[in-house]
């Protein structure tokens, strides 16, 4: 065939179409069916509003008859949640299914799956995604148990899961922050008494050729670096991180904080991009890194059994000007989906897994310390030195901003650290640029 191929293709297509017309009856139906199936999910979602409401006197919300729940959480929570699910089923007759969707992915997934009627009833989110979740209309307020949550959980946690509209949405699980872990074979507690002490210790200890370093943290991450700015009076957004028109990242405090961070370079002779969490954790585990700034999620892996040496932890010590860095805190919380067919049962389960008994079981099974008040006095946790250090650190933390504009903060600040660390750029000028970038980004999202 000497025909031009594309022409041949087109003529073949039109021939086919012509022959289709001859047998059109069944073909028309074949094309019509997908639209019907696309329309059905919304129909099933709208049919989901249950009518009964619980009596206000009852201590527990009345779950819907025949309810069954799907819960999204990270793999580490699987054992705990499945155990709780079995207990819950025995008590209320409601089956709970665990699905592995971590809090980082849950929002993007529920936005798509929820309206289609296939999402979870209950899922985990970090509190900094709360306002986006509220805007996107995917979470139900924590209404029935609001007083209970407010009374029994740390104020930091409750405030963090309350959206800017003043409504409490989440059921807090735990607060996450970071502090200094140290290898007790290499450093003593006195070496971590202040940042000057850390510098002095590192100077004596560092042997770059053998990859021995005094202190490390993930240098490209505002999550960690913010501590120095926040501790000196810098802030992300004004009015408790709710006013996007007031950005405090280039004020005097912020500049002073990052200048101090810049000064740490003398004992941390590596580039921002090279200080990856993999490298850092690996060096700490091998006993080469003495002091490791890392988060509470390492509690389960930084144990004597796993590392072979004793690990200590101290809250971030004061900087040379006497002020202590103020680390970011993230609050992991359960949220009930607005698309849940059984919202009452979901609320009941969220409450159930946040109880005092559940909190102790969660600590035993997954090492996660609940944000409930007074848990640090519980004998199950009291003896753990590392947990005690975190409880101490929690007294001086700042919840990450959670308004939708926060994305601009992470984006604009990401470019700052390589500049000031690798290229010794002027801190004030770099931060001014970052703040003006943030303003542009916020403007454009409108």
Partner 1 sequence: MRQHRITAATLSAVFMGLGQIYNRQYVKGSAFAAFYAFAVYFTIANWHHAIWGITTLGETQQKLVLVGKIYKPVKGDHSIFLMIEGLIMLFIFALFAYLLVMNAIDAYRGGKLRDEGKKLNNIKQTLRYIPDKKFAHLIITIPLVFVFFFSVLPIIFSVMIAFTNYNNTHEPPGKLVDWQGFRAFKDLFSLSQWAHTFFGVFTWTMTWAVLSTFTTFFGGFAVALLVQQKGIRFKSFFRAIYMVPFAIPAFLSLLIMRNLFNAQFGPINSTLLKFGIVGPEWLSDPFWAKATIVIVNLWLGFPLSMLLIIGILTTIPRDLYEASEVDGASAFYKFRKITFPSVMFSLSPILIGQFAGNINNFNVIFLLSGGGPTNSEYQFAGHTDILITWLYSLSITNGRYNFAAVISIFLFIIIALFALFSFRRTRSFREDDLLR
Residues between 253 and 282 that touch partner 1 (CB under 8 A): 270-276, 278-279
Residue 444 binds partner 1 (CB under 8 A) = yes
Does position 411 interact with partner 1 (CB under 8 A)? The reply is yes
Which positions from 215 through 234 interact with partner 1, judged by CB under 8 A?
Answer: 220
Q: Distance (Å, rounded) from C-alpha 29 to C-alpha 340?
A: 33
Coil, strand, or helix at residue 245? strand
Closest to partner 1 by CB, 66 vs 137, is 137
What minimum distance in Å lies between the beta carbon of 143 and partner 1? 5
| 65 makes contact with partner 1 (CB under 8 A) | no
Closest distance of CB 53 from partner 1, Å: 6
Number of helical (H) and strand (E) elements in the chain, helices listed first? 20, 13
Report the candidate in 204, 210, 172 with the shortest Cα–Cα distance to residue 351.
Answer: 172
Question: Considering only residues 370-409, where is the footprint of partner 1 by CB under 8 A?
Answer: 404, 407
**Residue list 26-55, contact with partner 1 (CB under 8 A):** 27-28, 30-32, 34-35, 38-39, 42, 45-46, 49, 53-54
Nearer to partner 1, 369 or 400 (CB): 400
The helix (H) or strand (E) run that includes residue 248 is: strand 243-248
- Residue 46 is encoded by which pair of tokens? 């709208």
- Contact segment (CB under 8 A) with partner 1 among 176-184, 193-201, 378-386, 435-443 equals 435-443
Q: Pairing relation of β-strands 243-248 and 235-237? A: antiparallel
> Which residues from 332-361 bind partner 1, rule CB under 8 A?
338
How far apart CA 193 and CA 293 sit, in angstroms, is: 14
**Contact 175/162 with Cβ under 8 angstroms?**
no
Stretch that binds partner 1, among 117-125, 141-149, 235-243, 381-389 (CB under 8 A): 141-149
Interface mask (CB under 8 A) for partner 1, residues 294-333, using x and -? Answer: ----------------------------------------
> In angstroms, what is the minimal distance from the CB of 260 to partner 1?
21
Q: Kindly tell me which residue out of 67, 109, 126, 132 binds partner 1, with binding defined by CB under 8 A.
A: 132
The minimum distance between CB 22 and partner 1, in angstroms, equals 6
Nearer to partner 1 (CB atom), residue 422 or residue 426: 422
Output the smallest distance, CB 176 to partner 1, in A. Answer: 20
Instruction: Please give the backbone phi and psi of residue 383, each rounded to the nearest 5 degrees, phi first.
Output: -80, -10
Q: Which residues have C-beta within 8 Å of that of residue 171, sequence separation ≥ 6? A: 142, 145, 149, 161, 333, 334, 335, 350, 351, 354
Distances, alpha carbon 379 to alpha carbons 248, 261, 384, in Å = 42, 38, 9
Closest CB 411 distance from partner 1, rounded Å: 6
Decide: residue 162, CB within 10 A, 0-12 exposed, 13-18 middle, 19+ buried. buried
Torsion angle of the four alpha carbons 382, 384, 389, 392, in this order, in degrees rounded to the nearest 10: -10
Nearer to partner 1 by Cβ, of 299 and 434: the residue is: 434
Minimum CB–partner distance for residue 194 and partner 1 (Å): 26
Interaction residues for partner 1, span 142-181 (CB under 8 A): 143-144, 167
- What residues from 85 to 114 belong to the interface with partner 1 (CB under 8 A)? 108, 111, 114
Single out the residue of 326, 329, 295 nearest to residue 228, CA to CA: 326
Query: Residue 408, class by beta-carbon neighbours within 10 Å (0-12 exposed, 13-18 middle, 19+ buried)?
Result: buried
In whole angstroms, how large is the CA radius of gyration of the chain?
A: 27
**Number of residues in contact with partner 1, rule: CB under 8 A?**
77
Helix 406-414 vs helix 427-444: crossing angle, to nearest 10 = 140
Q: Are 336 and 112 in contact (CB under 8 A)?
A: no
Q: Which is nearer to partner 1, 174 or 222 (CB)?
A: 222
How far apart, in Å, do the first and last CA atoms of the chain sit? 57
Q: Which residue, 364 or 424, is less far from partner 1 as judged by CB?
A: 424
In this structure, what token pair is assigned to residue 403? 């308004």
* Nearer of residues 30 and 379 to partner 1, judged by Cβ: 30
17 binds partner 1 (CB under 8 A): yes
Give the one residue of 20, 65, 189, 380 binding partner 1; rule: CB under 8 A. 20
Of 323 and 433, CB closest to partner 1: 433
Q: How far is the CB of 24 from partner 1 (least distance, A)?
A: 5
**Listed ranges 134-142, 188-196, 296-304, 370-378: which one lies at the site for partner 1 (CB under 8 A):** 134-142
């Amino acid at each position: 065939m000497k025909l031009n191929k594309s022409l041949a293709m087109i003529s073949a297509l039109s021939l086919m179409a012509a022959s289709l017309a001859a047998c059109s009856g069944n073909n028309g139906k074949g094309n019509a069916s997908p639209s019907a199936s696309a329309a059905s999910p919304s129909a099933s979602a709208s049919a989901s509003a249950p009518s009964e409401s619980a009596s206000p006197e009852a201590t527990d919300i009345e779950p819907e008859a025949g309810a069954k729940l799907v819960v999204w959480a990270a793999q580490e929570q699987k054992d705990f949640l499945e155990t709780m699910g079995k207990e819950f089923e025995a008590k209320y007759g409601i089956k709970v299914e665990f699905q592995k969707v971590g809090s980082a992915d849950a929002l993007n997934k529920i936005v798509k799956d929820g309206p289609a009627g296939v999402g979870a009833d209950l899922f985990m989110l970090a509190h900094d995604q709360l306002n986006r979740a509220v805007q996107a209309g995917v979470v139900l307020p924590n209404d029935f148990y609001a007083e209970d949550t407010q009374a029994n959980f740390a104020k930091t946690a409750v405030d963090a899961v309350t959206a800017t509209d003043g409504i409490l949405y989440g059921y807090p699980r735990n607060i996450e922050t970071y502090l200094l872990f140290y290898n007790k074979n290499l450093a003593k507690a006195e070496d971590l008494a202040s940042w000057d002490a850390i510098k002095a210790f590192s100077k004596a200890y560092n042997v770059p050729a053998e990859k021995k370093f005094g202190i490390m943290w993930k240098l490209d991450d505002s999550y960690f670096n913010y501590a120095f700015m926040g501790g000196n009076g810098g802030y992300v957004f004004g009015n408790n991180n709710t006013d996007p028109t007031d950005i405090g990242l280039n004020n005097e405090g912020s500049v002073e904080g990052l200048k101090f961070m810049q000064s740490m370079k003398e004992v941390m002779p590596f580039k921002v991009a090279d200080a990856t969490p993999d490298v850092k954790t690996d060096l700490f585990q091998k006993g080469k890194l003495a002091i490791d700034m890392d988060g509470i999620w390492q509690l389960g892996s930084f144990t004597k059994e796993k590392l072979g040496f004793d690990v200590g932890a101290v809250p971030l010590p004061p900087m040379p000007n006497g002020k202590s860095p103020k680390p970011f805190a993230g609050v992991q919380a359960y949220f009930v989906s607005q698309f849940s067919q059984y919202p009452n049962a979901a609320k009941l389960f969220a409450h159930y897994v946040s109880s005092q008994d559940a909190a102790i079981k969660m600590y035993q099974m997954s090492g996660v310390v609940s944000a409930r008040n007074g848990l640090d006095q519980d004998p199950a946790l009291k003896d753990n030195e590392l947990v005690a250090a975190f409880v101490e650190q929690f007294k001086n933390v700042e919840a990450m901003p959670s308004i939708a504009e926060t994305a601009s903060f992470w984006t604009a600040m990401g470019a700052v650290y390589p500049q000031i660390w690798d290229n010794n750029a002027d801190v004030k000028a770099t931060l001014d640029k970052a703040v003006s970038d943030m303003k542009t980004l916020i403007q454009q999202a409108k």
